[in-house]
């Protein structure tokens, strides 16, 4: 279980790195650092891209379709290993003990309490 969760966390971190590394590049520089993700066999090399015709504040940020598919495949492979029946039963047991009411007023004197329920549909 720990290995599966760590893979999921790794996938989230790598995805965040892909999104933020391109966005964090300095605004006065025309060269971005190469970004390599060995786990997926992805290599995003930004050095050879010309951005002289693009204003510095409006550089396009994207993940190629090949990189998106690699991330999605990895996510799906790791996510399929995460389900744990014992954990699901424990969560269901815990949720069934939920009291649908406001908490004690002495705990949150200066803060309101909102209750909400949804079906998961949009």
Average pLDDT over residues 108-112: 77
Mean pLDDT of the chain: 69
Question: What is the pTM (predicted TM-score) of this model?
Answer: 0.25
CA dihedral 94, 96, 102, 104 (to 10 degrees): -50
- As beta bridge partners, residue 36 has 43
Does the pLDDT of residue 48 top 80, yes or no?
no
Of the pLDDT bands very low, low, confident and very high (cuts 50, 70, 90), residue 60 is low
- Give the C-alpha distances (Å, rounded to integers) separating 95 from 4, 91, 103, 117: 24, 6, 16, 13
């Amino acid at each position: 279980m720990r290995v599966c969760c760590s893979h999921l966390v790794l996938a989230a971190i790598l995805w965040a790195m892909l999104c933020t590394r391109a966005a964090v590049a300095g605004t006065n520089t025309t060269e971005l650092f190469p970004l390599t993700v060995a786990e997926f066999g992805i290599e995003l090399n930004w050095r050879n891209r010309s951005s002289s015709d693009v204003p510095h504040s409006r550089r396009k940020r994207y993940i190629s379709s090949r990189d998106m598919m690699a991330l999605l495949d990895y996510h799906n492979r790791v996510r399929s290993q995460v389900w744990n029946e014992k954990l699901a039963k424990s969560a269901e047991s815990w949720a069934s003990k939920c009291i649908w009411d406001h908490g004690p007023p002495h705990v949150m004197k200066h803060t309101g309490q909102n209750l909400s329920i949804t079906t998961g549909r949009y």
